[in-house]
Structure 1
Amino acid sequence: MKYFLPDSQDLVDPSFDFQRETRNPERIRHQDDHYAHEVFSEQGPVFDGILVSKAIVEGTGAASQAKYTQAQQRRILREGVRAFFRLEDHPWDRRIESMGDCGAFTYIKEEAPPFSVDEVINFYVRCGFDYGFSVDHVISEYKPQWEADLFGSGAPDNVRQRQKLTLALASEFFATHKRDKLPFTPIGVAQGWSPVSYAHAFAELQKIGFRYIALGGMVPLKTNDILNCLKAVSEVRCPETKIHLLGVTRFAHLPTFSSLGVASIDSTSPLRQAFMDDKDNYHTLERTYTAIRVPQVQGNFRLQARIRSGELDQEKTRKAEQLCLRRLEEYDAGGRSLVPVLKALRAYEELHEPDKKTRTESARQALEDSPWKKCRCAVCKQLKHHVILFRGAERNRRRGFHNVAVFYQRLRMLTGQTPSADAATKALPDPALTLLSA
């Protein structure tokens, strides 16, 4: 099973100095900063490929979701995805593949996709993707009770219309791909509201000619619902047809997914959980840890607002912050016991999170175990204790990269691609589920 990491322009600055909180003033963000595959260039693969959405690159019009500047948009279209992400001649022992999709969740509230089939195909061809998803329209409702017959006529007209539109666009997409003999592998997208409706869409896509089909709209579904849909799909799936799950992980069930034909998945959950979750921020094969909050006084708008209002004294707050950093540095170097570190953290916590439950116990667990000292990944080797600090994008995003590496290791163990599967099967919270409930 392959893992594709969706792109959201997550880069880190290699010039960033974690002691002085400074960076090279001449740094040019995209030119000088590193993607995850560059951070782990000497370590070995931490994913199989990247997924890039047209909506992320170019936006969707009035309610634009674009994360690329106009200069970046022009460059990826001019140079292609491999040059843009610096994938060529990468030292990993396998080719980093690329997928292109529409980013259907960004226009879920629209009556129809904002892109035509020709526009999407032009994007895939100009960027030089290895795989391209057909244009789809997400069905947000999951209601198995709507089934009245084989084709789900009990579903509301607007829901059935989304599936019909997705299938019609897929048919046009496949016909154009075949007619023009395009270089990328086409992937049809199945949308549904129940196991029967997903199986129907899947069967129709196979009739069109697709032999790689993605199941979309499943991110909010419960694991049992996903399994029920996969089991229904397996009854109509041709042996040679591969399945991609869009945005779905569900660690413990990956072997079952694989047995039901799932050949690839994509998700940003391991990366995002590093800084979007309330507690499960740092992953190991055995468990997760809560990152230690030491917010930057100068970079935290809540602290700055309280300082401007006179509620907090800036000098006192700044000293409390710096004392935490010194105590953590001393502890990691072996020159300070745990008690004064926790005392400093608690004193600063009373300033920056006075109304929240104390995180002293989670900090104690993280510091006592010091999991970064056992981890051999490039991030932990470089950052040391800084990897466990919830403090600014440079630390938080690198911790996310570490989580991606751990996720990929567990994936390969769970699916039998590497030994030591016992460690990988231990129960960790599913990032997708945790983030949805956060």
Structure 2
Amino acid sequence: MKFFFPDSQDLIDPSFDFERERRSATRKRQRDDLYAHEVFTATPFDGFLVSKGIVDGYGALGSRYTLAQRHRLLRLGAPEFFRLDQAPRQLSIMGDCGAFTYVKEEVPPYSVEEVLEFYGNCQFDFGISLDHIILLFKPEADERGASQDLVPKELRERRELTLQLAKEFRQKHKAGGYTFEPVGVAQGWSPLSYADSVKALQRMGYRSIALGGMVPLRSSEIISCLKAIDGVRTPGVQIHLLGVTRTEHLKTFSRLGITSFDSTSPLRQAFKDDKDNYYTPGRNYTAIRIPQVEGNPSLQRKISSGEVSQDIARKLEKACLEAMKLFDSGRKTVEQALSVLMEYERFYDPDSKKNHEAAYRQTLTDAPWQQCPCEVCRELRYHVVLFRGAERNRRRGFHNIWIFHKQLEKELGLGQGSAA
């Protein structure tokens, strides 16, 4: 089973000085910063998923690429842009439209021709057909005699539109002589509607199919859909699960025909989750928050209004960083370090109901970064568990991806570097 890592231009700056909180004055982001596959000796994923919606940006969601980066991607192609020659092993690149970016529109904002041209110019290995996501799950619609009114007309039309676009996509892909593998998208609102979409895509000739719209579903709901799909799947057809991880069910997914998936969860949890920020094989830990005085909007507002003292804030921030440094070197105990951390938390967030004392005590007691063999933890040491700025947070996200891939290999009984 292949794991594709969705690109959102998440890079790290190797020149960043964590003690002085400074970058190199000569650093240029695209030239000098590193992708995850350039950080690890064993790449913790099998390929990238690159979304047209992320590259171009749409509506309120702006592009994660600068104009210069977009031009460079289209001019050089994705393999050179992402420096895949620097990866320890061969990586594939899959393109999709980013249907989540235009979910509120009546119809997709792109044409099939635009999508094909984007995939072709980027030199992707796989290209997912233009689709329109359905955010509804109504399994009762599969029951005999169920009313059509259970599924709004506009959502039924979205499924039909997605299939029409897939047919057009495949026809124009063949006529245009494109070299990437076309992947048809199946949308649905129930097990049978998904299975019906897969049957239709197989009749069109698709040998690779992606399942969309399943991110909000419970694991049991996803499995019920996969069972229905497996009942109609033609032998040899490859199935990709868009945006879904669910590590504990990967064996079941594999048994039901899933051959690849993508997910940003390991990266995003590093700085989006309230508690599960740092992965280990046994459990997840809460990262230790030491906000930057100049980088915390809430704290800055309190300083500007005169509610709190900037000098005291800086003093406490510095004390926390020093306490973590001393703790990591064995010169402070858990309770000594925790006392300093909690004093700062009570200062910058006195009204919060999220008291981190117990979680921080567990993180400090176990000090999981000291046992982790990944390149990020070996280089960063305690900095990897500090919830503080993009450079630390992204590196923790890279660590999570590395751990996740190890779990994937273990779950599927695969050797190192062969989650396939």
TM-score, length of structure 1 as denominator length: 0.92
2:55 is the counterpart of 1:57: yes
Question: CA–CA distance in 1 between the matches of 2:268 and 2:43?
Answer: 19
Which residue identity does 1:58 align to in structure 2?
D
Task: Give the aligned partner of residue 381 of structure 1.
Answer: 378
2:81 is the counterpart of 1:100: no
Q: CA deviation at 1:337?
A: 2.0
Matches within 5 A, 1:223-238: 223-238=219-234
Which residue identity does 1:216 align to in structure 2?
G
Return the match for 2:158 from 150, 158, 162: 162
Q: CA deviation at 1:152?
A: 8.6
CA RMSD across the alignment: 1.5
Task: Give the aligned partner of residue 406 of structure 1.
Answer: 403
Return the match for 1:85 from 77, 82, 86: 82
Which residue identity does 1:84 align to in structure 2?
F
Confirm or deny: 8 A CA contact 1:151 1:196 kept in the other structure: no
Which residue identity does 2:277 align to in structure 1?
N
How many residue pairs get aligned? The number is 414
Question: CA–CA distance in 2 between the matches of 1:193 and 1:144?
Answer: 7
Task: Give the aligned partner of residue 113 of structure 2.
Answer: 118
Which residue identity does 1:17 align to in structure 2?
D
2:127 is the counterpart of 1:132: yes
Which residue identity does 1:132 align to in structure 2?
G
Confirm or deny: 8 A CA contact 1:152 1:197 kept in the other structure: no
Question: CA–CA distance in 2 between the matches of 1:137 and 1:415?
Answer: 32
Question: CA–CA distance in 1 between the matches of 2:78 and 2:22?
Answer: 31
Question: CA–CA distance in 1 between the matches of 2:147 and 2:396?
Answer: 44
TM-score, length of structure 2 as denominator length: 0.96
Task: Give the aligned partner of residue 425 of structure 1.
Answer: none
Task: Give the aligned partner of residue 343 of structure 2.
Answer: 347
Task: Give the aligned partner of residue 48 of structure 1.
Answer: 46
Confirm or deny: 8 A CA contact 2:52 2:98 kept in the other structure: yes
Question: CA–CA distance in 2 between the matches of 1:395 and 1:292?
Answer: 11
Return the match for 1:364 from 351, 361, 379: 361
Confirm or deny: 8 A CA contact 1:65 1:106 kept in the other structure: no
SS of 2:62's partner is coil
Confirm or deny: 8 A CA contact 1:12 1:394 kept in the other structure: yes
Confirm or deny: 8 A CA contact 1:295 1:391 kept in the other structure: yes
Q: CA deviation at 1:146?
A: 2.5
Task: Give the aligned partner of residue 431 of structure 1.
Answer: none
Which residue identity does 1:44 align to in structure 2?
A
Q: CA deviation at 1:333?
A: 0.9
Question: CA–CA distance in 1 between the matches of 2:308 and 2:216?
Answer: 41
Task: Give the aligned partner of residue 298 of structure 2.
Answer: 302
SS of 1:336's partner is coil
Q: CA deviation at 1:136?
A: 0.3
Confirm or deny: 8 A CA contact 1:104 1:136 kept in the other structure: yes
Which residue identity does 2:411 align to in structure 1?
L
SS of 2:380's partner is helix
SS of 1:210's partner is coil
Question: CA–CA distance in 2 between the matches of 1:304 and 1:156?
Answer: 47
Question: CA–CA distance in 1 between the matches of 2:145 and 2:228?
Answer: 12
Question: CA–CA distance in 1 between the matches of 2:135 and 2:322?
Answer: 49
SS of 2:108's partner is coil
Matches within 5 A, 1:172-187: 172-187=168-183
Question: CA–CA distance in 2 between the matches of 1:65 and 1:299?
Answer: 22
Question: CA–CA distance in 2 between the matches of 1:54 and 1:72?
Answer: 13
Unaligned runs of 5+ in 1: 420-438
Question: CA–CA distance in 1 between the matches of 2:176 and 2:307?
Answer: 66
Question: CA–CA distance in 2 between the matches of 1:413 and 1:158?
Answer: 43
Question: CA–CA distance in 2 between the matches of 1:298 and 1:74?
Answer: 34
Question: CA–CA distance in 2 between the matches of 1:66 and 1:344?
Answer: 40
Q: 1:150 to 1:416 in 2, by over 3 A?
A: farther
Deviation sequence 1:144-177 (CA, Å, 0-9, x none): 1233669994532211100000000000011112
Which residue identity does 2:350 align to in structure 1?
P
Return the match for 1:266 from 262, 267, 272: 262
Q: CA deviation at 1:31?
A: 1.5
User: Which moved further from structure 2: 356-365 or 98-107?
Assistant: 356-365
Q: CA deviation at 1:68?
A: 1.1
SS of 1:188's partner is strand
Question: CA–CA distance in 2 between the matches of 1:390 and 1:283?
Answer: 14
Question: CA–CA distance in 2 between the matches of 1:91 and 1:337?
Answer: 40
Task: Give the aligned partner of residue 24 of structure 2.
Answer: 24
Task: Give the aligned partner of residue 10 of structure 1.
Answer: 10
Matches within 5 A, 1:209-220: 209-220=205-216
Could you list the runs of 4 or more consecutive aligned residues of structure 1 that deviate by over 4 angstroms after TM superposition? 148-154
Question: CA–CA distance in 1 between the matches of 2:110 and 2:220?
Answer: 33
Confirm or deny: 8 A CA contact 2:134 2:187 kept in the other structure: yes
Deviation sequence 1:179-226 (CA, Å, 0-9, x none): 233110111000000001000000000000001101100000010100
Question: CA–CA distance in 2 between the matches of 1:246 and 1:258?
Answer: 14
